[in-house]
Structures are given as C-alpha cells and as structure tokens.
Structure 1
C-alpha cells in the first residue's frame, strides 16, 4: 500500500497549536493596501484559528499531523 502524501501547499500554510487546533495567516494584506485603513491593515496582522467547518478538510490534506 502506498504512503499517504501531505498536500505541500497546505503544509506551508497551516500549523497546529499545542492542543491540536489549526492556525492560519490572515488574508488580504499582500497588495492594494493604499485604500485600506490602518485599522483594517492592523487587524490583518498575525494568525487566526481555522474555522470549525474547514477543520476536517485541512486535516485531510495534512495526514501526518501528530495530534
């Protein structure tokens, strides 16, 4: 039986917390920043949790997570 491969794009975008929850970076901060307010840009900094409805799909792409 062949090994299950990790989705390499997902592996670069998600990481887990110590308790096993998934983290993601926030979107919309790469370009066209002049029309966005400083408050909006500041709120896009950092990481956020993956939504509950998306957890199963992300875990399928990352079978080798040690949870």
Structure 2
C-alpha cells in the first residue's frame, strides 16, 4: 500500500460521508415539509371550524350608542 492508495481511500471515505450527510439532510427536509403540511392543514381546519360557527363577538368591546 503506497501513499496514493491511502489518499484515494481517504477521498473515497470523504465522498461517502458527504453523500450520507446529503441523504440525511434530504430525509430531514422531507419530514419537515410533511410536518409543516400537517400543521397547515390543522390550522386551516381550525380556522374553518371557527368561521363555521359564525363571527365571534368580543365581550370586552362595547359599542358607543
């Protein structure tokens, strides 16, 4: 084993490490997007449910006669 072989192995290991990190980032990004979509859908359902009940009056607000 000579120096060129050692350098080639280190380069290959660095490439594998970079590819694994890239795959992890992509997986995390996909899971994050899925979670955000679920949160957004829940928010829209909540807003639709609140609007379905009609406008809610604020009891602390009084109209001036």
Q: TM-score, normalised by structure 1?
A: 0.25
Structure in which a larger fraction of residues adopt strand? 1
Which protein, 1 or 2, shows the higher relative CO under an 8 Å CA cutoff with sep ≥ 6?
A: 1
